[in-house]
Structure 1
Amino acid sequence: MKPARTRTVHGVSIGILMLDTGFARLPGDIGHGATWRFPVQYALMEGVTGPMVMAAAAGDRRAAAPLIDRFVDAANRLARLGVDGVATSCGFLAAFQEDIAARCVVPVATSSLLQIALAASVLPGNQRVGVLTAKSSALTASHLVAAHADPTTPVVGLPETSRFFENQMNDAAHVSFDEQAQDVLDCAARLLQQHPEVGAIVSECANFAPYSALIAERFGVPVFDIVSLIDWFHAGLRPREFGRPTAIRSDSPMQASGFDEQ
């Protein structure tokens, strides 16, 4: 049994490291507090942007070391504060999953891409997983390998001329749910048209989760995103309590059910 940890904050199992952004986030987004059915503890990675993470993940590992160090330090500070596990708000950090997790004192889940291998394992044999991303040119086979996924996994991204992409790049203070939803639905349609064998979708971008239900309803495929990952993560860190079954007489017909007779 592990010794009790000294912590300043209690009752918060999930910590989330947020990139330094200014665009509006809607319910369902990782950075909107109403997304979560449990409390989360946010921490800001000051000065760390999405393009910075993309560039580091695409470059030399030694050049990325200072950025990795910053994420490790921030994750461990959240752990000292009191969280039991740490997630991040950028799917491209899958490239550094092992580097960051290996040096943290609590479990770390960097990216929704970690779900690709699991989703693939439950699909029929003639189907595969496809990925939606904010920027397809930045999501490489190395990201997929780092997430223990098939490096040939189909990937489709937002056009850089789309309103959604422009909102993110320009830190739009106000966004339209409907406009962004259409961009993501169009992206999913292209993925499924180009790769009809795709039977499940994983969204790399942590800002796509508000639209997952729309994708699943429109195209009839399972959709996994940062919210499904963190829900799963939290379920392991803080399993549901069901209580002990009520004692039952050995001759009771309800013995096998574990419930009292009414």
Structure 2
Amino acid sequence: MTSPSTRPFGILLLDRALPPDVTLPMSPVGSMRNPATFDFSTISETVVGAYGDDVVRGDPRLGPAYAAAARRLVDRGAVAIGSNCGFTIRYQAAVAGSVKVPVVMSSLLLVPTLLRQLPTAAKLAVITFDTTHCGEDLLGVDDPAERARVVIGGVEGSQLWHNEMRRTPLPTAVADIEKEVAASVARLRAVHSDIGAILLECTVFPLVTPAIRRITGLPVYDITTLCRMTFASVA
């Protein structure tokens, strides 16, 4: 029998709308697309038709496509499943209901847990790709008092945002991503001095997680944090 620790972690990928004869260059370490990001093996399936702009806006028609791609990953041996867009939390129930392995579609699943880790007077900063599409319904927090402890900043309108919202996205330099994420964090901290931890929603942001930890001196969590924890639970 194959042990879970020798089986891969499955990753559901956005559709980059590439021509058939075009191959993307390898993404930097930290990206969900780069196998070197993790110290365990990964496999991936592109969710056909799941374009970044549609997923960010929450196209409900994509749920079945995500569920079907998740089943393909399980058929290939995936022991757990994640995704490379935080806004796919909208499809969490559809995917989790379609397979019998742990499913962690978004780092936003960590919001309730992180609030309980912090002192009750501290706030959790969520840095998202686009605040206009990151509503309260994605946070998993029903208690108004707890919801008030979550403050949200974003990078909409930035170069990264414009590049990723293209139907075929363009690469953004890691230095530019760091600058944009750090600026969003700084804006929140200028208003909320009681921020105790940071959660990065966008799956591009793990490229700069170490830099944000260094700049802020705060605990910083992202999708790779959740994927590692989930894989460890079945390894």
TM-score by length of 1: 0.78
Of the three residues 27, 46, 49, the one matched with 1:47 is 49
In structure 2, how many angstroms separate the alpha carbons of the residues matched to 1:49 and 1:193? 34
Please give the alpha-carbon distance, in whole angstroms, between the structure 2 residues aligned to 1:147 and 1:40: 34
Identical aligned residues as a percent = 26
2:64 partner amino acid: D
The runs of 5 or more residues in structure 1 that have no matched partner are: 58-63, 239-262
- In the alignment, is the contact (CA less than 8 A) between 2:66 and 2:91 conserved in 1? no
Alignment partner of 1:155 is 2:157: no
Aligned residues: 224
Q: What pairs with 1:181-220 in structure 2 (closer than 5 Å)?
A: 181-220=178-217
Aligned to 1:255: none
> 1: CA distance between counterparts of 2:107 and 2:137?
15
The aligned counterpart of 1:107 is: 102
Match for residue 161 of structure 2 among 157, 165, 182: 165
Comparing 135-144 and 111-120, the one that deviates more: 111-120
- TM normalised by structure 2 equals 0.86
Is 1:81 the counterpart of 2:76? The answer is: yes
1:95 aligns with 2:90: yes
Work out the CA distance in 2 between the residues paired with 1:190 and 1:31: 30
Q: Report what 1:129 is aligned to.
A: 124
- Work out which of the two has the higher radius of gyration on C-alpha atoms and give 1 or 2: 1
| Root mean square deviation of aligned Cα | 2.5
- SS state of the match for residue 45, structure 2? strand
SS at match of 1:16: strand
Q: CA deviation at 1:148?
A: 9.8
Match of 1:140 among 135, 142, 158: 135
Partner of 2:21: none
Whole-Å separation in 1 of the counterparts to 2:48 and 2:110: 27
- Relative to structure 1, the CA distance from residue 144 to residue 214 in structure 2 (aligned partners, 3 Å threshold; closer, same or farther) is same
CA offsets 1:177-206 (integer angstroms, 9 cap, x no match)? 212211111111112222222110111100
Contact map agreement 2:52 2:164 (CA 8 A) in 1: no
Aligned to 2:119, what secondary structure does the other structure show? coil
Shift of 1:219: 0.9
In structure 2, how many angstroms separate the alpha carbons of the residues matched to 1:51 and 1:147? Answer: 27
- Determine if contact 1:119/1:129 at 8 Å carries over to the other structure: yes
Residue 180 (structure 1) aligned to one of 143, 165, 177: 177
**Distance in 1 between the 2:66 and 2:141 partners?**
17
Give the SS at the match of 1:155: strand
Q: 1:173 to 1:67 in 2, by over 3 A?
A: closer
